[in-house]
Amino acid sequence: MKRSIQTTKIVEEVIRQKPKARWIFLTITVKNVFDGEALDKSLKAMAEGFRRLMLYKKVKQNMVGFMRSTEVTVNKKDGSYNQHMHVLMCVESAYFNTKGAYLSQVDWTSLWKKAMKLDYVPVVHIEAVKNKKRNKKKEVTAIQAAVQETAKYSVKDSDYLTGNLANDLEVVKDLEEGLYRKRMFSYGGLLKEIHKQLNLDDIEDGDLVRVDDEDSDVEEKAYSIVAQWNWKAQNYFIR
């Protein structure tokens, strides 16, 4: 909720300042891992790889700014963890209409592979945030949809809580190790500057209850995993 509210404010201000800029939505992945230690290493490598990606000349030459969200999902078939990044990027209009500026999906895949120093071809998806008909109102809705996708939770309990206590606790242990001290959400370029201009608090370390400048009767719900002992069943149950 907080991510979405803050980012909507930021994107609206970017659109006001750069009305001719365009938006693209990038998803980048790496191979799944199977335990907390490997997840920890992979997320650290992805953070560094993303930093390198944003510094490549072909990427930054028309970059206005971006918001990046790292998400971890659990594959219920084999218990592996899939870590990927959703990146909403604002680019100058020249990105689409200047020869040599546009980057295809093949280009983005090659650059991500290079940035991560991979020996395999990673799954990468890139698309322009637009509608088939150039309807301004609908285009804003498309950007809002991209914001919602990028700003969603990094890890959702519905992805990994199965009701199997031993399995669930193992997953929680792996996620705790893998996500420890990781910045899962960040802004860059103009979006980062506007975040400061609007005097918004830190998206991860700031006030988790107040999500707006005005008082609100609605608070974000905090979810916790509680293992409760059942004497009759002589076992723990997660509720």
Predicted pLDDT of residue 228: 45
Residue tagged 């199997």 (tokens): 164
- State the Cα–Cα distance between residues 124 and 122, nearest whole angstrom: 6
Of 178, 200, 214, which is closest to residue 73 (Cα–Cα)? 178
| Cα 15–Cα 18–Cα 24 angle in degrees, nearest 5 | 70
Predicted pLDDT of residue 7: 84
| Cα 167–Cα 172–Cα 177 angle in degrees, nearest 5 | 130
- State the Cα–Cα distance between residues 159 and 142, nearest whole angstrom: 26
Predicted pLDDT of residue 202: 72
| Cα 106–Cα 108–Cα 111 angle in degrees, nearest 5 | 110
DSSP output for 22-35:
EEEEEEEE---B-S
User: Helix (H, G, I), strand (E, B), or coil: what is residue 135?
Assistant: coil
Across-strand partners of 29?
A: 84
For CA atoms 94, 96, 97, 99, the dihedral sign is: positive
Predicted pLDDT of residue 68: 95
pLDDT one digit per residue (tens) for the chain, 239 residues: 667 788 889 999 999 999 999 999 999 999 999 999 999 999 999 999 999 999 999 999 999 999 999 999 999 889 999 999 999 999 999 999 999 999 999 999 999 999 999 999 999 999 998 754 445 555 557 777 777 777 665 666 656 667 778 888 888 899 999 999 999 999 999 999 999 999 887 755 544 344 343 333 333 333 333 444 454 554 444 34
Q: Which residues are within 8 A (CB) of 221 and not within 5 positions of it... i.e. 6 or more apart?
A: none
Predicted pLDDT of residue 211: 37
Per the document, the length of the chain is 239
Of 94, 84, 86, which is closest to residue 63 (Cα–Cα)? 94
